[in-house]
């Protein structure tokens, strides 16, 4: 247990690539065109760093969306060189999201493997000499049923191989150095925060938190003050602080410098998001969460979404009158959260999952990977004020003992990172639910007259009454079960439509039907006495399973067509309907 705790702290500190730019730690961007070869059908285990390159491949990027490799399954082999102007006592290779399984080599020596799809990962290199070095990687995108895999073939989102948001090298200059500073909110009324210094031994990346006893701390470029740290932590108030909220996304900067240990900077926000009395509270005021689920993908680049494509999506989401986005169904990138900090959106982030079953949730490796991802996600996003909710395992079998047990572990793991964020998961199990005892709020996914109560959408009246009746019934189940204190929200609702397809009486799959459907479900959510938030399924049409998966008939062209915008972000009628309901005066 002690070793697991030590490795976990090391790893957790390791992946904190976040909004900390370190004057001490220097970063070298390794994005660009890498040597490449594709071993069709081959696994990670068969990969070697000295492969014969037959092509080049951009990083970041998803290789299975590139002609010649489109939708092929196997292992992509990558290699590139870099040159160091001077030797360093230690470094880490940072991978900002990858799929689906990865192995890394530096100068022919294996430095790490991972199955943590989408996670922000770092791998120790040890001391590096001046001169040329070679980094090689293998990325396996094969799909197969195995209970110890994080990405399952039936997930309703496309499986893709590649580096999603880039690779960088973090060069440590000093034998013991401050790598990052985490800023935890302690009191939004007084702007009180706690700083945690992530201090590291260069040689092996282990934590040396208590090495720094005193440091110069300055906020927003003000004159520094001398602060004493205990075990790498110290509490203080941010001078002239301004609260962060979607309406006023004020951000602050802190710089920490310690003689002989380097210096770091971080961007953060002062805010508090809590649950209680049946409501969500932001900075002491009740807040209704109105937003969308968003897959971090686009048609051409898959999960290798660019800053501009993310910003465009966020503008479209804000343009709906939304204050909230759920990162369905995997951890968001650091870049995405930074943009949400800037634009002002509350973010529900979650660990990867989708309708996971007891066989997976009782598999020791699956459990360990989920817990590791939970710690990484929670800790690596502490400095992002937009990230207000930590969640996990969308629609897992929460009526099972295995589900209840894993959920309890995940809730504890996410709480243990002391982020101050409420924790829960999106359920679709209602009455027989077993796993919501420890969560801070309830979120249920419901699709009346679409996934359930088939045949009740025949008239406008029957659709409206069925949708409203079912939502009320399910909300009541949870209110009766968990009492008045736990807020209840709708984690997903929606239906499918084809962009540009219309029908005067709203035939299913027409834009009119989808707009009518969401007008009913979102209007219900806004008017209901218990419901404290709604996340529409989904922001835009997205790539889903390809020639396979659990329901090939309802995924035309391999896409999930429930978007308010189509896959090219063209607006559907449903977006107009939702915008009308999300306008500020609505609730």
Over the window 344 to 363, marking each residue x when it contacts ligand ADA by CB under 6 A and - when it does not, the resulting string is --------------------
Site string for ligand ADA, 190-229 (x = CB under 6 A): ----------------------------------------
Residues 219, 178: Cα–Cα separation, whole Å: 17
Roughly what angle, to the nearest 10 degrees, separates helices 364-380 and 2-14?
Answer: 50
Q: Which of 537, 539, 545, 565 is close enough to bind ligand ADA by CB under 6 A? A: 537
Residue 560 touching ligand ADA (CB under 6 A): yes
Q: How far is the CB of 487 from ligand ADA (least distance, A)?
A: 20
What minimum distance in Å lies between the beta carbon of 11 and ligand ADA?
29
Q: For tokens 């047990």, name the residue.
A: 405
Q: Distance between CA atoms of 166 and 539, rounded to whole angstroms?
A: 24
Binding mask 485-504 for ligand ADA (x = CB under 6 A): -------x------------
Taking CB under 6 A as the rule, does residue 125 contact ligand ADA? no
Q: Is 72 helix (H, G, I), strand (E, B) or coil?
A: coil
User: Nearest to residue 329, comparing CAs of 385, 370, 273?
Assistant: 370
Q: Nearer to ligand ADA by C-beta: 93 or 352? A: 352
Cα atoms in the 13 Å half-sphere on the side-chain side of 442:
30
Shortest Å distance, C-beta 230 to ligand ADA: 44
| Tokens read off for 504 | 């005067």
- Residues 194/184, Cβ–Cβ less than 8 Å: yes
Q: Strand 387-391 and strand 423-424: pairing?
A: parallel
- For position 566 contacting ligand ADA by CB under 6 A, the verdict is no
445 binds ligand ADA, rule: CB under 6 A = yes
Residue ranges of alpha helices (H) inside 383-459 are 401-416
- Residue span 40-79 as binding mask against ligand ADA, x where in contact by CB under 6 A, dash where not: ----------------------------------------
172 touches ligand ADA (CB under 6 A): no
Count the helices and strands in the chain (H runs, E runs). 9, 35
Interface with ligand ADA, residue 449, by CB under 6 A:
no
The reply to whether 156 sits near ligand ADA by the rule CB under 6 A is: yes
Of the candidates 441, 435, 504, 508, which has an alpha carbon nearest to the alpha carbon of residue 475?
Answer: 441
The SS3 of residue 303 is coil
Is the Cβ of residue 218 or residue 399 nearer to ligand ADA in the bound state?
399
Nearest to 572 by CA among 507, 500, 492: 500
* 208: CB partners within 8 A, 6+ apart: 176, 199, 200, 201
| Choice between 57 and 347, CB closer to ligand ADA | 347
CB nearer ligand ADA, residue 395 or residue 512? 395
Residue 417 or 492: the one with the smaller Cβ distance to ligand ADA is 492
Residue nearest to ligand ADA (CB): 156
- Tell the smallest beta-carbon distance from residue 347 to ligand ADA (Å): 17
The answer to whether 370 contacts ligand ADA (rule: CB under 6 A) is no
| 394 contributes a contact to ligand ADA by CB under 6 A | yes
Instruction: Give Cβ neighbours of residue 135 (< 8 Å, ≥ 6 apart).
Output: 30, 79, 80, 81, 82, 93, 104, 105, 106, 167, 169
Q: Does 562 bind ligand ADA (CB under 6 A)?
A: yes
> Minimal distance in Å, beta carbon 391 to ligand ADA?
12
Out of 395, 433, 511, 541, name the contact with ligand ADA by CB under 6 A: 395
Cis peptide upstream of residue 354 (ω within 30 degrees of 0): no
Give Cβ neighbours of residue 283 (< 8 Å, ≥ 6 apart).
Answer: 188, 243, 245, 271, 272
CB of 470 to ligand ADA, least distance (A): 14
Choice between 119 and 352, CB closer to ligand ADA: 352
93 vs 490 by CB, closer to ligand ADA: 490
Joined together, the tokens standing for residue 44 give 């990670």
Chain contacts with ligand ADA (rule: CB under 6 A): 156, 328-329, 394-395, 428, 445, 492, 537, 560, 562
């Amino acid at each position: 247990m002690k070793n697991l705790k030590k490795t976990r702290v090391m790893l957790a500190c390791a992946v904190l690539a976040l909004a900390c730019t370190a004057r001490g730690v220097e970063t070298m961007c390794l994005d660009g065109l890498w040597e490449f070869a594709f071993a069709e059908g081959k696994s990670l285990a068969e990969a070697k760093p000295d492969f014969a390159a037959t092509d080049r491949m951009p990083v970041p990027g998803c290789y299975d969306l590139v002609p010649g490799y489109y939708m092929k399954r196997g292992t992509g082999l990558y290699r590139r060189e870099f040159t160091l102007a001077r030797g360093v006592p230690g470094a880490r290779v940072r991978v900002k999201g990858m799929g689906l399984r990865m192995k890394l080599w530096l100068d022919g020596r294996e430095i790490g493997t991972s199955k943590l799809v989408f996670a922000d990962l770092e791998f120790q290199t040890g001391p590096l000499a001046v001169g040329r070095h070679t980094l090689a990687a293998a990325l396996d995108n094969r799909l197969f049923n195995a209970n110890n895999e994080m990405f399952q073939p039936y997930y309703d989102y496309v499986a893709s191989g590649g580096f999603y948001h880039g690779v960088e090298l973090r060069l440590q200059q000093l034998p013991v150095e401050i790598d990052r500073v985490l800023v935890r909110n302690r009191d939004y009324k007084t702007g009180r925060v706690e700083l945690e210094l992530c201090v590291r031994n260069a040689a092996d990346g282990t934590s040396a938190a208590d090495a720094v006893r005193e440091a110069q701390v300055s906020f927003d470029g003000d004159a520094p003050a001398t602060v004493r740290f205990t075990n790498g932590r110290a509490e203080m108030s941010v001078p002239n602080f301004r609260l962060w909220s979607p309406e006023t996304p004020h951000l602050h900067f802190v710089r920490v410098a310690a003689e002989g240990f380097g210096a770091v900077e971080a961007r953060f926000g002062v805010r508090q998001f809590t649950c209680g009395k049946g409501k969500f509270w932001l900075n002491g005021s009740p807040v209704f969460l109105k937003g969308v689920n968003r897959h971090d993908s686009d048609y051409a680049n898959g999960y290798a979404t660019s800053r501009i494509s993310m910003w465009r999506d966020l503008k479209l989401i804000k343009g709906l009158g939304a204050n909230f986005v759920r990162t369905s169904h995997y951890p968001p990138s650091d870049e995405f959260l930074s943009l949400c900090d800037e634009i002002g959106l509350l973010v529900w982030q979650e660990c990867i999952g989708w309708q996971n079953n007891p066989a997976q949730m009782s598999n020791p490796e699956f459990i360990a990977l989920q817990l590791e991802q939970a710690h990484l996600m929670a800790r690596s996003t502490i400095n992002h004020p937009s990230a207000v909710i930590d969640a996990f395992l969308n629609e897992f079998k929460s009526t099972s003992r295995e589900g209840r047990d894993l959920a309890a572990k995940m809730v504890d793991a996410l709480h243990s990172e002391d982020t101050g964020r409420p924790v829960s998961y999106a359920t679709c199990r209602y009455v027989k639910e077993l796993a919501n005892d420890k969560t801070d709020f309830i979120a249920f996914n419901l699709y009346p007259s679409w996934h359930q109560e088939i045949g009740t959408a025949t008239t406008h009246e029957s659709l409206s009454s069925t949708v409203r009746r079912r939502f009320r019934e399910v909300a009541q189940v949870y209110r009766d079960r968990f009492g008045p204190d736990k807020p209840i929200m709708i984690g997903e609702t929606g239906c499918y439509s084809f962009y540009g397809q219309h029908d005067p009486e709203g035939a299913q799959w027409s834009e009119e039907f989808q707009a009518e459907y969401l007008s009913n479900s979102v209007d219900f959510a806004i008017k209901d006495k218990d419901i404290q938030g709604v996340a529409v399924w989904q922001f835009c049409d997205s790539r889903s399973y390809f020639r396979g998966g659990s329901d090939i008939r309802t995924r035309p062209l391999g896409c999930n067509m429930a978007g308010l915008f189509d896959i090219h972000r063209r607006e559907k009628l449903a977006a107009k309907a939702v915008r009308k309901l999300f306008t500020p005066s609505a609730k």
